[in-house]
Structure 1
């Protein structure tokens, strides 16, 4: 699997991205959450981004400005707000109209209704694990898992969505999956036998569309300049 090649600090970025998504009320992990986790890390690639104004505070402010808070955000998160505004569609007005007609947190309630119910066992897609076996298996499984992955808590952010935080599995968006595929290609191109934060950074910067490019543009950061400086700094360190 892809994540088996991730260095511990790179795995921590992915875990922190999920925590940021939950805190902001988003039931998906997008490139923007990976970027937010990355710029807060104590790593050379993260420092380069912050030196260019791509700080955790600025990134989070742009995420909230462009996507918003709350469980209903995924309905709008993959849409280009500026493009829709140019043809007279205001996503914030659409959200307000939905909540006016169906009440506050209508999108959150709809999302919870869709995803309510137990998930099938991974051991067999159509048969749940016997309760007795589950009682014995679950503590040992979680203890082993916790021992393998115990990253530091994600840094606190500026914003927190109201209401219940998304629970359970949070999927990656198609663009986030694309950025992770870029990450693997960056490591392969440099003949590295691991995937580190520098590869994650380069994979995100390589995205030609989506919220990362929009955030970088809003903050006045040049993707080519960032890429050149990250590559140069890691080349000097090697």
Structure 2
């Protein structure tokens, strides 16, 4: 698998499934991804949340309070849990978010931003009310925490351009255009595997340690 998830993001994905199971949920949503970030407890995303003045215990309490009424499963079951549409979209677009910040590694702040980008997600609403809206997190990241990584491919960064043009809301369009452009080169590997592998169980792969162990936060 070619996604450049950092070890910390890989851990967050694993923790998100465990958080869903702990709450007795039969799905993995953005609330579980955020709970996974909080449970991991370290890294840039946590630093940003703290620097914005949020109390981590209060954030966890708010998120768990929102999700608890929807518990449908007995905690501790070991079955594979499907991603919700919003969680799937957040994971798919981390690649684009990382490229927008010219980082070759997908880090926890990129995942956090992808979770918060959807204004219709109750998790985004709660975080905004607490002082960690998408814009606030993005500004804090850019001004105080951004890593000095080189672009993946500064001369052919068409994915980042598509992201800025609005393809985040429909990442399949960007992926389709990229596939069309590279149709004459069948041996060329996709540079957007997060977008291509729509049906993959990322949490299972994280648990099996199949996600690329790229060094970084």
TM-score range, shorter chain: 0.5 to 0.7
1:232 paired residue among 143, 150, 159: 143
Gaps of 5+ in 1: 73-107, 109-162
Q: Distance in 2 between matches of 1:165 and 1:236?
A: 37
Q: Secondary structure at the match of 1:68?
A: helix
Task: Tell me which residue corresponds to 1:136.
Answer: none
**Residue of structure 1 aligned with 2:81, choices 158, 170, 188:** 170
1:88-237 to 2 correspondence within 5 Å?
Answer: 108=73, 163-235=74-146
1:47 matched residue in structure 2:
47
Shift of 1:177: 0.8
Give the secondary-structure state (helix, strand or coil) at the position aligned to 1:5.
coil
Shift of 1:195: 1.1
Q: Which residue of 2 aligns with 1:6?
A: 5
Cα distance in 2 between the residues matched to 1:211 and 1:191: 29
2:36 maps to which residue? 37
State the distance in 2 between where 1:18 and 1:36 align: 10
Write the distance in 1 (CA, Å) between the matches of 2:98 and 2:26: 29
1:19–1:66: structure 2 CA closer, same or farther, 3 Å change rule?
A: same
Residue aligning to 2:19: 20
Q: After superposition, what is the alpha-carbon deviation per residue over 1:43-70, rounded to whole angstroms, capped at 9, x for unaligned?
A: 1221111233444422332223222256
Q: Quickly say closer, same or farther: Cα 1:171–1:14, change in 2 above 3 A.
A: same
Alpha carbons 1:31, 1:179 under 8 Å: kept: yes
Aligned counterparts of 1:164 and 1:203: Cα–Cα separation in 2 = 27
Q: How many angstroms apart in 2 are the aligned matches of 1:181 and 1:10?
A: 13
Q: Which moves more between the two structures, 192-201 or 7-16?
A: 192-201
How well do the aligned residues superpose, as a CA RMSD in angstroms?
Answer: 2.3
Partner of residue 84, structure 1? none
TM-score under structure 1 length normalisation: 0.55
Residues of 2 paired with 1:12 and 1:49: CA distance? 18
